[in-house]
């Protein structure tokens, strides 16, 4: 089997292997790295349906990586050793849908599934090369804490995580800022998540600065994040289709940055029989509007009960656009330039009057979110976190008689206890991991939404 190569969506970066792609993060030409080809695994699905989560992970990752098999297995086993459920990502029937629980990792969020692996991979490769890495990331909530908990205390890694000051849930902030290891730096930016993300991308585009300070990425601009998330679509999809005797499955995905649903898109391209990806946004609905109209246009970021989705510019959207534009990098660069200039871009609709017949898109408002949390608690005895509730609400508008519907539960409800209390009238959402943070000491630095200020902070705190 030939080793997978990675290319840039912008078309001018030389192909590279997996290890270089992960350490590079954002491509030198400003694009996003993607596999040069997408493997088709349709013929393997019957066999995969009998495998454990870790074994499916191994089968998928060996298609995309250049790691020795024994090393890859060791990385996978160590990455999931501290998850709180033996199935890693179990799927349960709840009312008219199946709920895929992705929150059994160390920080109670789906980001743990990929970031535990990525953190272990970074340590693996840095030990072998003698290199150091300074991670720069931006978070709207859960990526930051998952990344920080993955690399805290590691010898060859420092991590700088930006979050929008006062715009993440209090428990999400506490999970990040209570980690006091000397290699962890929390930066609260006086602005929105989009400001944090723009600062990060601009710094990564300065190749001299990136090289001088050995910067690496943990955001879903890093291909490894998307790659590892592909696994739970296969694991849950094969399990639920078997349980329900369905020939196809559809997934409802609450999304803001397009990384999680993009993993489902790759799973479909690889041969998993997905009838639809139900893309769900909150009032920050740029992605829903795009898939319904063909126009991707900036709006104002509105604070909601699902803060991890309070995003306008989705960092993974360029990967999807590349495929939607028939892998034409020149067309892609033209539409991205249009977006940078006007705040809008357009793609033509297909014959059915939509952007892509794989996608169904909808919006769950604050009222919808609260009503869905209340309904699932009262009728089914199940607590949804507000992000998951957005996905479940939109999924209920598109249930299929023939295809099972799986809704991704992206975080434990205890991370958003106020929203739960507002919805059900009682403070029901607890978890001992979060209870332990109540009186924890915290540390963070507040900076303006200014790239120069962040650069200076990095320069002053990088440790040799």
The closest of 279, 228, 275, 278 to 257, measured between CA atoms, is: 279
d(C-alpha 352, C-alpha 335), whole Å: 23
Count of Cβ atoms closer than 10 Å to residue 1 Cβ: 6
CA 237 centroid distance within chain? 18
Is 111 an active-site residue? yes
H or E stretch covering 134: strand 133-138
d(C-alpha 340, C-alpha 336), whole Å: 6
d(C-alpha 253, C-alpha 274), whole Å: 13
Inter-residue contact 403 to 248 (CB < 8 Å): yes
d(C-alpha 82, C-alpha 58), whole Å: 18
d(C-alpha 363, C-alpha 288), whole Å: 7
Inter-residue contact 276 to 331 (CB < 8 Å): no
The closest of 212, 213, 217, 159 to 32, measured between CA atoms, is: 217
Inter-residue contact 445 to 185 (CB < 8 Å): yes
The closest of 276, 279, 261, 305 to 110, measured between CA atoms, is: 261
Q: Report the first-to-last Cα separation within the chain, whole angstroms.
A: 39
H or E stretch covering 103: none
Inter-residue contact 140 to 221 (CB < 8 Å): no
DSSP, collapsed to helix, strand or coil, labels residue 83 as coil
d(C-alpha 250, C-alpha 401), whole Å: 11
Q: Which of 111, 174, 201, 415 is catalytic?
A: 111
Phi-psi label, residue 140: left if phi above 0, alpha if psi -120 to 50, beta otherwise: alpha
Beta bridge partners of 281: 363
Residue the block writes with tokens 């090393």: 71
d(C-alpha 223, C-alpha 147), whole Å: 15
Residue the block writes with tokens 């990752």: 61
Residues forming the active site: 111
């Amino acid at each position: 089997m030939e080793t997978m190569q990675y290319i840039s969506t912008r078309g001018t970066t030389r192909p590279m292997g997996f290890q270089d792609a992960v350490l590079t993060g954002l491509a030198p030409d400003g694009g996003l790295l993607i596999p040069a080809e997408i493997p088709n695994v349709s013929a393997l699905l019957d066999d995969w349906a009998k495998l454990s989560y870790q074994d499916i992970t191994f089968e998928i990752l060996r298609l995309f990586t250049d790691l020795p098999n024994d090393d890859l297995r060791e990385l996978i086993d160590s990455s999931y050793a501290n998850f709180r459920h033996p199935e890693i990502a179990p799927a349960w029937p709840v009312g008219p849908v199946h709920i895929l629980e992705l929150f059994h990792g160390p920080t109670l969020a789906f980001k743990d599934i990929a970031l535990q692996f990525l953190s272990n991979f970074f340590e693996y490769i840095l030990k072998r090369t003698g290199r150091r890495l300074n991670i720069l990331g931006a978070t709207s909530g859960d990526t930051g804490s998952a990344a920080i908990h993955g690399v805290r205390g590691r010898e060859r890694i420092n991590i700088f995580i930006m979050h929008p000051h006062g715009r993440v849930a209090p428990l999400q902030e506490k999970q990040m800022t209570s980690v006091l290891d000397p290699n962890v730096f929390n930066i609260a930016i006086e602005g929105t998540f989009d400001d944090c993300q723009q600062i990060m991308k601009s710094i990564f585009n300065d190749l001299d600065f990136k090289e001088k300070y050995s910067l690496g990425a943990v955001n879903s601009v890093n291909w490894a994040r998307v790659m590892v998330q592909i696994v739970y679509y296969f694991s849950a999809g094969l399990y639920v289709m078997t349980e329900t005797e369905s020939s196809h499955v559809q997934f409802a995905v609450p999304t803001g940055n397009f990384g999680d649903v993009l993993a489902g898109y790759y799973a479909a391209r690889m041969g998993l029989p997905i009838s639809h990806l139900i893309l769900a946004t909150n009032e920050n609905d740029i992605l829903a509007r795009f898939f319904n109209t063909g126009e991707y246009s900036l709006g104002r970021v509105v604070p909601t009960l699902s803060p991890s989705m309070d995003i306008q510019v989705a960092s993974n959207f360029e990967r999807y656009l590349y495929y939607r534009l028939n892998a034409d990098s020149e067309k892609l660069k033209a539409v991205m330039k249009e977006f940078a200039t006007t705040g809008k871009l357009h793609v033509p609709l297909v014959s059915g009057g939509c952007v892509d017949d794989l996608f169904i898109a909808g919006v769950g408002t604050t009222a919808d979110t609260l009503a869905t949390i209340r309904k699932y608690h009262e009728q089914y005895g199940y607590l949804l976190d507000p992000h998951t509730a957005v996905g479940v609400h939109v999924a209920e508008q598109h249930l299929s008689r023939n295809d099972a519907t799986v809704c991704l539960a992206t975080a434990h409800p205890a991370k958003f206890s106020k929203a739960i209390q507002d919805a059900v009238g009682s403070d029901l959402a607890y978890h001992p991991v979060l209870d332990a943070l109540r009186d924890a000491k915290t540390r963070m630095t507040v900076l303006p939404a200014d790239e120069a200020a962040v650069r200076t902070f990095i320069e002053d705190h990088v440790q040799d």
